[in-house]
Structure 1
Amino acid sequence: MSDNSSGKEITVPPIADELGRVFADGGFELHLVGGPVRDAVLRRSVSDLDFTTDARPEATEAILRAHCSTVWTTGADFGTIGGLFRGEQVEVTTFRADAYDRVSRNPIVRYGDNLVDDLERRDFTVNAMAVSVPGHEFTDPFGGLADIARQTIRTPASPESSFADDPLRMLRAARFAAQLGFGIDPQTLDAMRRMAPELGRITAERIRDEFVKLLTAPDPVVGLRILVDTGLAEHFLPELPALRMEIDEHAQHKDVYEHSLQVLRNAIALEQDGPDLLLRLAALLHDIGKPETKDVAEGGGVTFHHHDVAGARLARRRMRELKFPKADVQAVSLLISLHLRFYGYGDAGWTDSAVRRYVTDAEAQLDRLHLLVRSDCTTRNRRKAERLRRDYDAFEDRIARIRAEEDLRAVRPDLDGNAIMELLGLPPGPQVGRAWAYLKELRLERGPMSREEAESQLRAWAAAEGLAPSPDAG
């Protein structure tokens, strides 16, 4: 179905028309397709420019090389050639009519000869619309425009066929629901529930990338609920549905699943510069150690002792399995391991030494830790919530005061390894490391020391340890 009037109402970036004229001069069709068309219909900004054409890849490459400052062919095996056209990144893909082996998900690449067949193989109707350039003929054979009006996610072909071709599309459905605020068509949702085990065919890297897009969407909670309700989460993040623990008849603990989703929402509300993936991951996963550590104490109370430690371990394992970068794994597991440290500050009266340790242990994640701890307060008791807020305000003020006096971002011993070896007459080795560790602990306890104080303390420690300096040392 073509609807020229709808196409005229869509604002096409001028650069798309320019490229369309270049292809037309070569005797080929060019259509803006997929996300850019959907976003134009929704009056959202159009950034990535994706096109489809009847030109074969070698012809596309020749055209782009003649008109682009840079051309890349990394997707050539799948019919996609990219380039920098008038300073904008564009990707042009030959019409496709692929078949899938439905075992590995790898497509058997076959080029098509018409636009409609190409659109039918796309994931959802809202992404299966096209606008010709420069003519602006609007093509919508599967009702994408109507689904946008209904705010519905639906597959062009049957959902069973679509998801069998590429099971990752089930995660993409949840992601688009989170990004666009759309619901999922009941037939499509039912197929997701039945076909969730098919996700096992997808590599960890592809699952991770799609999950990251979902988690950084405007409202990831919408998508996360879909992942849990359809059973998809069980196949790559089982710790999330495991949070739906049975609450005992006396309601001795809050609903950990709902609490975790609320903490995520709280964290998002505190973000300053756009989506913070590491903060969102830590907020979502901060309590995943609770199911493993749940215990019923005498009197019927429920405890989760050391769930922070267990949660950090579980998050580390799961993120490694999903092939997250090592630095991200370390950051999120550190945040989870420290998220309970603050509680009790207002009652216990922390020493400056305890504050130094908090800052030092948090390392580069201190600012995220502040946001995570604040987000973790979901109590409906306004008096308790206000007390926790005041306590953390005072805590951050105290950190700022101590920071003004000391360099807490790099709390290091007052003597380096070379000075220790010279002072104690030691060769390089584990004894120097022990001396360095002692000085660091001393620095955390007492704050900065003069060199004379540090040397005096080190000599006393060395003597007690049987490491007295040699006669010609220092």
Structure 2
Amino acid sequence: MPNANDDIQPTPPASEQLSAAQRRAVSELLRVSPVADDLARRFQQAGFRLALVGGSVRDALLGRLGNDLDFTTDARPADVLRIVRPWADAVWEVGIAFGTVGCRKTAREEGVTRAFQVEVTTYRSEAYDRTSRKPEVAYGDSVEEDLVRRDFTVNAMAVALPEKTFIDPHGGLEDLARRVLRTPGAPEASFSDDPLRMMRAARFAAQLDFTVADDVIGAMTSMADRIGIVSPERVRDELNKLLLSAHPCKGIRLLVDTGLADRVLPEIPALRLERDEHHRHKDVYEHSLTVLEQAMALEQDGPDLTLRLAALLHDIGKPKTRRFERDGRVSFHHHEVVGAKLTRKRMTALKYSNELVKDVSRLVELHLRFHGYGTGEWTDSAVRRYVRDAGPLLSRLHLLTRSDCTTRNKRKASALAGAYDGLEARIGRLQEQEELDAIRPDLDGNDIMNVLGVRPGPLVGKAYQYLLELRLEHGPMEHDEAVAALKEWWAAQS
């Protein structure tokens, strides 16, 4: 499916852009029209109006409309339910308090079956409590009234159905052609109503590679403190969408430059360390963004949130560990350990899952381990421990470690890449020989209890750990060798 860059660049005259966008929109709308028109006719027969709206129209104009369709209507939620229940495959009322009814509709056309996720929302005219981002929902009377409350002009367009009349009271089509994010009204009023829209500005800039209008940036900067009333979960969700976009560094820079990052992810602006007088360390902030971009370039199965978070956060321990040595060097001893702790703390505050917190902080903790490899003098035991410590994160650790090389010195970069190639090759050989992916002692718990004649308890765990250390140090052992080693250990415990 084409992206925003494919559709918009190179930039033709505005009139040609609008014409091309409208042609794309017609093409995309025709693709979904069997579903959209069918639903619109049902609303029309019931005496109501229906329009495709918001992000669905924007994406249609960009030639990237998916199977998630957003509609707005003058019908009240009870009427919407009455209309869609006989039509949809499934209906849900999770958002009905805010005037939204969701449903799923499967349609088959030209031998292809598509499942559409549909949301129908009653025209809204909202009033916000300035101490909360939750609106007091009041229903509106027109689609124009509904559009003015939208976050950005490119999301404030509609197409009335089934006649397909284009509605654009705030110049969203022209802004889309010029790749600019503006608000329908004053940005201060919009962000005061819903501060999360400031995060959404950064997210859309990253997703669509758009420029944010100067007055919007000004409002984000002056109102950054307002983000404090937004729940951590909502901030996290916007941050995830930003990070998983095609241009996350663009969104991150906007968050940092406006001061929003100081409120939601302060460890990132803290990376903008003052350069020491000898300029003997690189800009950690710019380095981290470069690592993120290089990690993205190595992804093979689509955007990887775990890897991208680790790449962005891998050096956040440096500000707290920076030391100026007597010889003029700058050191960051144990910044990976400090960084792992800071990562756990920040991700926990943003309500990330325990599993994701564990994985990202572990990658941050391990990202320097390779630099002890040097010219390949690690023993097989050290290689086994590297694999054991990485566990299921090994493939991501490979990518993060390679991405962390941002030196402009081609000879040094080539040497580092060659050294890591060598380490991966050694891991591959050991994996073939020893099944490194599942390193376990040569005797399991039952074997240990049988050999030692003991019951389950802490002693079995100590014996198991001893045998695991032997396995890591010397590789696989024959059964009889392992039994002999266990008995020798047991004798030494007496």
SS at match of 2:281: coil
Counterpart of 1:418, as a letter, is N
1:407 to 427, 435, 444: 435
Q: Is the 8 A contact 1:212 1:277 kept in 2?
A: yes
Which residue number in structure 1 is paired with residue 388 of structure 2? Answer: 360
Deviates further, 427-436 or 328-337: 427-436
Q: What CA distance in whole angstroms lies between the structure 2 residues aligned with 1:411 and 1:5? A: 58
Q: Is the 8 A contact 2:50 2:74 kept in 1?
A: yes
TM-score (norm 1): 0.96
Deviation, structure 1 residue 150: 1.8
Matches within 5 A, 1:10-49: 10-11=25-26, 12=29, 13-14=32-33, 15-49=35-69
1:417 and 2:445 matched: yes
Q: What CA distance in whole angstroms lies between the structure 2 residues aligned with 1:425 and 1:49? A: 66
SS at match of 1:335: helix
Cα pair distance change 1:376/1:104, threshold 3 Å: same
Cα pair distance change 1:117/1:266, threshold 3 Å: same
Q: What CA distance in whole angstroms lies between the structure 1 residues aligned with 2:264 and 2:206? A: 18
Moved over 3 A (4+): 3-9
Q: Is the 8 A contact 1:4 1:137 kept in 2?
A: no
1:145 and 2:173 matched: yes
1:52 and 2:80 matched: no
Deviation, structure 1 residue 287: 0.3
Q: Is the 8 A contact 2:445 2:460 kept in 1?
A: yes
Q: Is the 8 A contact 1:120 1:128 kept in 2?
A: yes
Q: What CA distance in whole angstroms lies between the structure 1 residues aligned with 2:25 and 2:493? A: 79
SS at match of 2:355: helix
Matches within 5 A, 1:251-262: 251-262=279-290
SS at match of 1:135: coil
1:190 and 2:218 matched: yes
Deviation, structure 1 residue 45: 3.4
Counterpart of 1:391, as a letter, is A
Cα pair distance change 1:4/1:130, threshold 3 Å: farther
SS at match of 2:42: helix
2:347 to 316, 319, 325: 319
Q: Which whole-Å deviations, capped at 9, do the CAs of 1:39-95 have from their partners, x for residues lacking one? A: 111222333100000000000011110111111111110111111123321110000
Counterpart of 2:49, as a letter, is E
Q: Is the 8 A contact 1:98 1:108 kept in 2?
A: yes
Q: What CA distance in whole angstroms lies between the structure 2 residues aligned with 1:70 and 1:339? A: 46
Q: What CA distance in whole angstroms lies between the structure 2 residues aligned with 1:356 and 1:109? A: 59
Counterpart of 1:447, as a letter, is G
Q: Is the 8 A contact 2:126 2:135 kept in 1?
A: yes
Deviation, structure 1 residue 7: 6.2
1:384 and 2:412 matched: yes
Matches within 5 A, 1:54-133: 54-86=74-106, 87-133=115-161
Q: Is the 8 A contact 2:25 2:62 kept in 1?
A: no
Cα pair distance change 1:360/1:66, threshold 3 Å: same
Cα pair distance change 1:215/1:9, threshold 3 Å: closer
Q: What CA distance in whole angstroms lies between the structure 2 residues aligned with 1:175 and 1:6? A: 22
Q: What CA distance in whole angstroms lies between the structure 2 residues aligned with 1:4 and 1:34? A: 19
Cα pair distance change 1:325/1:367, threshold 3 Å: same
Counterpart of 1:256, as a letter, is V
Q: What CA distance in whole angstroms lies between the structure 2 residues aligned with 1:462 and 1:216? A: 52
2:371 to 328, 331, 343: 343
Deviation, structure 1 residue 348: 5.4
Q: What CA distance in whole angstroms lies between the structure 2 residues aligned with 1:24 and 1:402? A: 68
Deviation, structure 1 residue 425: 1.9
Deviation, structure 1 residue 8: 7.3
Cα pair distance change 1:455/1:359, threshold 3 Å: same
Q: What CA distance in whole angstroms lies between the structure 1 residues aligned with 2:83 and 2:335? A: 59
Deviation, structure 1 residue 310: 0.5
Matches within 5 A, 1:145-224: 145-224=173-252
Cα pair distance change 1:347/1:298, threshold 3 Å: farther
Q: Which whole-Å deviations, capped at 9, do the CAs of 1:242-300 have from their partners, x for residues lacking one? A: 00000112111100000000000000010111110000000000000000000011211
SS at match of 1:461: helix
Deviation, structure 1 residue 4: 12
Which residue number in structure 2 is paired with residue 444 of structure 1? Answer: 472
Which residue number in structure 2 is paired with residue 469 of structure 1? Answer: none
Q: What CA distance in whole angstroms lies between the structure 1 residues aligned with 2:268 and 2:171? A: 35
Q: What CA distance in whole angstroms lies between the structure 2 residues aligned with 1:164 and 1:238? A: 22
RMSD: 1.4
Q: Is the 8 A contact 1:23 1:63 kept in 2?
A: yes
Counterpart of 1:19, as a letter, is L
TM-score (norm 2): 0.92
Give identity over the alignment, percent: 58
Q: What CA distance in whole angstroms lies between the structure 2 residues aligned with 1:417 and 1:7? A: 68
Q: Is the 8 A contact 2:376 2:423 kept in 1?
A: no
Instruction: Give the paired residue count.
Output: 464
Q: Is the 8 A contact 1:287 1:308 kept in 2?
A: yes
Which residue number in structure 2 is paired with residue 329 of structure 1? Answer: 357
Q: What CA distance in whole angstroms lies between the structure 1 residues aligned with 2:242 and 2:21? A: 30
Which residue number in structure 1 is paired with residue 7 of structure 2? Answer: none
Q: Which whole-Å deviations, capped at 9, do the CAs of 1:109-156 have from their partners, x for residues lacking one? A: 111110011001111000000001111100001110111122111111
Q: What CA distance in whole angstroms lies between the structure 2 residues aligned with 1:4 and 1:59? A: 37
Structure 2 unpaired stretches of 5+? 1-17, 107-114
Structure 1 unpaired stretches of 5+? 467-474
